[in-house]
């Protein structure tokens, strides 16, 4: 358990980072940049869930993080393949 | 003692994540953004997970280790997929002195 | 057959880890699910042919060393990247370089690419099997030959004994 000050400050800080990345998703110049921004978004969300699990002392949040990381990996691959040759599976 | 260590790891992770996001916002093209975003992010997440696992029970530690291994295997593959797609669609590099040794096979 | 059973067992263990349980019923369920998955998908997943065989003991001894080396590379790369992001080092020479594959087997190429891509400052873009080249994007290619030399040295020192 981190001390409360660090936990809440960290929560606000990560939320700020999430906001910045959401803006970048919306305003990306190219498709690859948008995919990358989405990937980073889920990565930061996993960090947020890790922070929450640390404060909570229970593993529920980390289970969600595990699923989220797997899901974002598959989504990124599919999006890249679609962007590359207009088909998700070649 | 453990709380102090945990705090230090949390702050370290947040700092690395912040640098990753700042680099992502600042870099001009997708290739340089890849370096800053997905990879600098990985170490930040690992630091946050380590801070969580320091005082957790078995369930939390297994999950933290599992997420770390999973991310170590998936982030490079995702970065490679993005880079390859951008390279094949010939997305531009915005830094004027950039080198490209593959330019002669187009 | 041995490969199928091994994969099913491995998937079952992963299932247990994900659930963080030690219930034998869960193990049985995981192994069954794994076996069904392998039976359904096994033909479509082409496993890379084994190149050079390595003695298991040698691999077990050198694998932690290799992991440590990769982790050190990640730390150095992250530090370098952080300095570049906050303008303390210049960002004038990013670029795409070709690295020769050399003596690596198919597995070795995959591990090399994974390890190099994991450390910040380098991303694998393409594998060119015809010219036997790996195409990387580096954050600083002001001296490509030094990069190639470093890549080879890392392989010789840490990787050759584990994944040739």
B65-94 pLDDT per residue, tens = 889 988 888 888 999 999 989 888 877 777
CB spacing of B33 vs A36 below 8 angstroms: yes
Closest chain C residue by Cα to residue B79: C123
pLDDT higher than threshold 70 for residue B41: yes
Q: Alpha-carbon distance B26 to A52, whole Å?
A: 29
C78-87: average pLDDT: 84
Contact C156, C149 (CB under 8 A): no
> Which residues in chain C touch residue B50, judged by CB atoms under 8 angstroms apart?
none
**B44 inside domain:** yes
pLDDT higher than threshold 90 for residue A21: yes
CA distance A32 to chain B (A): 6
pLDDT higher than threshold 70 for residue C161: yes
pLDDT higher than threshold 80 for residue A64: yes
Closest chain B residue by Cα to residue C18: B63
Contact B24, B16 (CB under 8 A): no
CB spacing of A24 vs B89 below 8 angstroms: no
Q: How many domains does chain B have?
A: 1
Q: Is the ipTM above a cut-off of 0.95?
A: no
**A39 inside domain:** yes
Kindly indicate the confidence band of residue C105, based on its pLDDT and cuts at 50, 70 and 90. confident
CB spacing of A54 vs B84 below 8 angstroms: no
pLDDT higher than threshold 80 for residue C91: no
Share of chain C above pLDDT 70, in %: 91
Q: How many CA atoms lie within 13 A of B31 on its CB side?
A: 30
pLDDT at B93: 79
SS3 label, residue C98? strand
Kindly indicate the confidence band of residue B18, based on its pLDDT and cuts at 50, 70 and 90. very high
CA distance C132 to chain B (A): 13
Q: How many domains does chain A have?
A: 1
Kindly indicate the confidence band of residue C45, based on its pLDDT and cuts at 50, 70 and 90. low
pLDDT at A89: 64
pLDDT higher than threshold 60 for residue C28: yes
Residue ranges making up the domain that contains B49: 2-93
Q: Does B40 touch chain A (CB under 8 A)?
A: no
pLDDT higher than threshold 90 for residue A20: yes
Kindly indicate the confidence band of residue B32, based on its pLDDT and cuts at 50, 70 and 90. confident
The residue with greater pLDDT, C3 or A70, is A70
pLDDT at A17: 92
Kindly indicate the confidence band of residue A14, based on its pLDDT and cuts at 50, 70 and 90. very high
C60-84: average pLDDT: 87
Share of chain C above pLDDT 90, in %: 0
pLDDT higher than threshold 90 for residue A13: yes
Q: Does A58 touch chain B (CB under 8 A)?
A: yes
Residue B38 has its nearest CB partner, among A39, A47, A63, at: A39
pLDDT higher than threshold 80 for residue B13: yes
**A90 inside domain:** no
The residue ranges of DSSP E strands in B1-106, in sequence order, are: 99-100
**A66 inside domain:** yes
CB spacing of B59 vs A46 below 8 angstroms: no
> Which residues in chain B touch residue A77, judged by CB atoms under 8 angstroms apart?
77-78, 81
CA distance B85 to chain A (A): 5
pLDDT at C57: 81
pLDDT at A2: 59
């Amino acid at each position: 358990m981190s001390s409360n000050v660090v936990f809440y400050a960290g929560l606000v800080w990560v939320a700020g980072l999430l906001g910045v990345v959401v803006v970048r998703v919306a305003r990306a110049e190219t498709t690859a940049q948008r995919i990358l921004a989405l990937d980073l978004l889920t990565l930061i969300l996993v960090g947020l869930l890790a922070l929450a699990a640390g404060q909570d002392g229970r593993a529920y949040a980390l289970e969600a993080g595990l699923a989220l990381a797997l899901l974002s990996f598959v989504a990124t691959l599919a999006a890249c393949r679609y962007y590359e040759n207009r088909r998700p599976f070649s | 003692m453990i709380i102090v260590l945990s705090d230090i790891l949390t702050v370290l992770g947040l700092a690395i994540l912040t640098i990753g996001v700042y680099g992502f916002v600042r870099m001009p093209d997708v290739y340089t953004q890849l370096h800053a975003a997905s990879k600098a992010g990985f170490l930040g997440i690992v630091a946050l997970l380590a801070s969580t696992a320091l005082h957790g029970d078995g369930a939390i530690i297994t999950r933290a280790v599992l997420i770390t291994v999973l991310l170590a295997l998936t982030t490079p593959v995702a970065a490679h997929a993005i880079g390859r797609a951008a390279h094949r669609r010939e997305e531009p590099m915005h830094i004027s002195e950039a080198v490209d040794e593959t330019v002669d096979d187009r | 057959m041995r490969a199928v059973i091994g994969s099913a067992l491995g998937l079952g263990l992963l299932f247990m880890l994900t659930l963080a349980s030690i219930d034998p019923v869960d193990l049985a369920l995981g192994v069954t699910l794994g076996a069904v998955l392998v039976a359904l998908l096994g033909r479509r997943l082409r496993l890379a042919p084994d190149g050079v065989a390595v003695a298991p003991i040698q691999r077990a001894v050198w694998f932690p060393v290799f992991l440590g080396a990769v982790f050190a590379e990640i730390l150095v790369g992250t530090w370098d990247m952080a300095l570049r992001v906050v303008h303390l080092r210049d960002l004038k020479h990013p670029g795409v370089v070709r690295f020769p594959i050399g003596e690596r087997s198919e597995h070795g190429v995959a591990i090399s690419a994974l390890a190099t891509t994991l450390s910040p400052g380098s991303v694998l873009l393409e594998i060119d099997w015809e010219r036997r080249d790996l195409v990387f994007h580096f954050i600083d290619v002001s001296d490509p030959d030094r990069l190639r030399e470093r890549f080879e040295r890392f392989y010789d020192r840490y990787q050759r004994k584990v994944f040739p």
